[in-house]
Structure 1
Amino acid sequence: MTAAVDTPAPAATASGSDDQRSERRLAYWLIAPAVVLMLAVTGYPIGYAIWLSLQRNNMAAPDDTEFVGLANYITILTDQYWWTAFFVTLAITVVSVAIEFVLGMALALVMHRTIFGKGVIRTAVLIPYGIVTVAASYSWYYAWTPSTGYLANLLPEGSAPLTEQIPSLAIVVLAEVWKTTPFMALLLLAGLALVPQDLLNAAQMDGAGAWKRLVKVILPLIKPAILVALLFRTLDAFRIFDNIYVLTGGANNTGSVSILGYDNLFKAFNVGLGSAISVLIFLCVAIIAFIFIKIFGAAAPGAAEERR
């Protein structure tokens, strides 16, 4: 008979688990100060805005302040102005982000494949993103001003595109795309830098054309970068304010939800309604982020392992 040989594997496994728990606890302690600071910086304003949204509070009548519960939210959600602004914001967001993604991917591929003058090309592409949004908005405003704007002079005489809803929204989308496409391209370029050249060479040797390599190899591998780019730009586009404020001021049903909140807070001095609009915008942004992470996060490489 042969004696059984004892193996220390279970002890080693237990020791490894203890080490992992210790590292996890250390990680929690290290990030705790940053979490507390972020909660203090962001949590208090959000909580205070929620509290103000539950009151009838108008700075024009400071003595007439009363807790009204959800009355401000009911007023907003049953008002046509909110839904008009919401759908205008949604349309601008969807159209501008879709165009920016296509153009940004094209620019990212060009910058990634360029052999000569990479620095010059990347600098030229990023110039629009470096310009202050308000300054860029005024340049578009004067360009489309009748009789003086160089773009307005290309239109038939008597045209005033900034006084009509659809042309105004098209100009707003154009200004958004021109300004922020470089940001999208920069994030996608970072993703392209992580694609192994060996895979592309292997796909090319298997007979895959440029389009098939893009769809079957490149896009699946840069899904995390696509998630970040689309998420950041969608959240930013949904909160659009500058371009609309300068180009149209929200006239002719071109106002966004941020413009509506601004009008209530800083023009009508209605703190209660303005705060309620701000809270609704925050909820919309949170829902958008959740949807993006659920849709794209589950498909990103490594997501299955992270859930285990």
Structure 2
Amino acid sequence: MSTPVTESAPIPARPLPATYRSTKVRRQRVRAAWYFLAPMLVTLAMVAGWPLLRTFYFSLTDASLSDLSDTLFIGLENYLVYDDGRWFGVLADPIWWRAVWNTVYFSVVSVSLEVVFGVVVALILNAEFKGRTLVRAAVLIPWAIPTIVSAQMWAWMLNDQFGIINHLLMGVGLIDSPIAWTADARYSMWAVIMVDVWKTTPFVALLVLAALQMLPKDCYEAAEVDGIHPVKVFFRVTLPLITPALMVAVIFRLLDALRVFDVIYVLTSNSTSTMSMSIYARQQLVEFQDVGYGSAASTLLFLIIALATIAYLYLGRKQLQLGGE
């Protein structure tokens, strides 16, 4: 008697581990992100990459603005070279290092003031009061004005002969005689910083205000019920929550400040007391027509900005990780 053959039930497929599924989804998202970024990266390489490489090439030559076709490769001599007992090149030029110091000083002071004033303005605009919409629109006016226009406007107001700033200060008795705000080395840098802060504080305020609008209301309601002081609430609740927006504002403003040109050039031209790295490079390229030397200065400017950006992003990421823990 034969034993009947019974069909065995199919073995159910084992589900894939959650970690595998999440890794696969993550890879698909990364691949899709690169597909969307590809057109922008190609365009950026054509618009910015090629001029950057050409600038670096010129920095290794003795190119002149009068004839760019007749150039001789000289290596790193535009950067630094020792000849006949002396150092030559951009890195040996004291005016360049003065421009570096001016740029760093301008960037640190102006961005710091803009962050402080921007947060204060954003907190005011975030409060409920009559006419808030009109005030918000008015605050954005300095940022909407082109930099060249606002710099020239302030140059007239800061003029020592007919400027309204001296007229007002003398009218209230704060000064006895007109001050050459943009010509005197004691005041010119602070005059430039004041104009830049007036111009770009609304940008920081706008980003911080957007972050404030996204904050959850229950945290503040709980703090109000517990009777916590508003200042303590700001430093313990509000400031940590708006830190990502502040980081974005600072990095954008820091990039702009490190490559500042227009506001300083309009107000003080080529004065060494306020000369930035961009103005130094422009002076070598245009006025002295030394394309190789000016390209070396421009390349160093790019490297300084890149290093500052990388350092800031690295430190900011570490700060966020520590805050998350």
2:152 aligned residue: 138
Q: Which residue of 2 aligns with 1:161?
A: 181
Aligned length: 301
2:195 to 175, 180, 186: 175
Q: Provide the rounded CA distance (Å) in 1 between the counterparts of 2:230 and 2:298.
A: 46
- Relative distance call for 1:11 and 1:136 in structure 2 (3 A) is closer
Name the counterpart of 1:69.
75
| Matched-pair contact (CA < 8 Å) for 2:166–2:178 | no
Equivalence map 1:1-308=2 (5 Å): 8-10=14-16, 14=20, 17-60=23-66, 65-74=71-80, 75-153=89-167, 154=170, 155-157=175-177, 159-300=179-320
Residues 194, 64 of structure 1: alpha-carbon distance in 2 compared, 3 angstrom cutoff: same
C-alpha RMSD of the superposition: 2.4
Partner-residue secondary structure (3-state), 1:295: helix
Structure 1 distance, partners of 2:156, 2:215, is 43
Higher helix share: 1
Secondary structure at 1:151 match in 2: helix
Query: Letter of the aligned partner of 1:129 in structure 2?
Result: W
What is the one-letter code of the residue matched to 2:59? S
Q: Displacement, 1:275?
A: 1.0
Gap change, CA 1:186 and 1:13, over 3 Å in 2: closer
2:183 & 2:22 partners in 1: Cα distance? Answer: 68
Aligned-residue offset at 1:156: 2.6
Equivalent-residue separation in structure 2 for 1:152 and 1:73 (angstroms)? 43
Q: Distance in 1 between matches of 2:226 and 2:13?
A: 48
Say which SS state the counterpart of residue 287 (structure 1) adopts: helix
User: Residues 224 and 297 of structure 1 are in contact (CA less than 8 Å); yes or no, is this contact kept in structure 2?
Assistant: no
Q: Shift in Å at residue 9 of structure 1?
A: 3.5
Contact 1:129 1:180 in 2 (8 A): yes
Question: Which moved further from structure 2: 9-18 or 201-210?
Answer: 9-18
Larger radius of gyration: 2
AA of the residue aligned to 1:34? M
Shift of the alpha carbon at 1:14?
4.3
Whole-angstrom CA distance in 2 between matches of 1:44 and 1:100: 34
Return closer, same or farther for 1:301/1:127 CA change in 2, 3 Å cut-off.
farther
Runs of 5+ consecutive residues of structure 2 not aligned to the other structure = 1-10, 81-88
- Once the 2 structures are TM-superposed, how far is the Cα of residue 30 of structure 1 from its aligned partner? 3.0
Q: List per-residue Cα deviations over 1:15-51 (Å, max 9, x = no partner).
A: 5544443343333233222222222222111111111
- Structure 1 SS opposite 2:117: helix
Contact 1:224 1:301 in 2 (8 A): no
Distance 1:244 1:12, change over 3 A: closer
Distance, in Å, in 1 between the alignment partners of 2:158 and 2:29 is 59
Measure, in 2, the Cα distance between the counterparts of 1:172 and 1:27: 41
Q: TM-score, normalised by structure 2?
A: 0.85
Judge which range, 241-250 or 123-132, deviates more: 241-250
SS across alignment from 1:57: coil
The 1:37–1:268 alpha-carbon spacing in structure 2 relative to 1, beyond 3 Å, is same
Q: Note the residue ranges of structure 1 that are not aligned, 5 or more in a row.
A: none
CA drift of 1:95 comes to 0.9
Contact 1:163 1:252 survives alignment (8 Å) = no
* Letter aligned with residue 166 of structure 2: A
Distance 2:285 2:196 in 1: 25
The code of the aligned residue for 2:159 comes to T
TM-score, reference length from structure 1: 0.90
CA distance in 2, matches of 1:60, 1:37: 30
For the 8 Å contact 1:221–1:301, the answer to whether it is kept is no
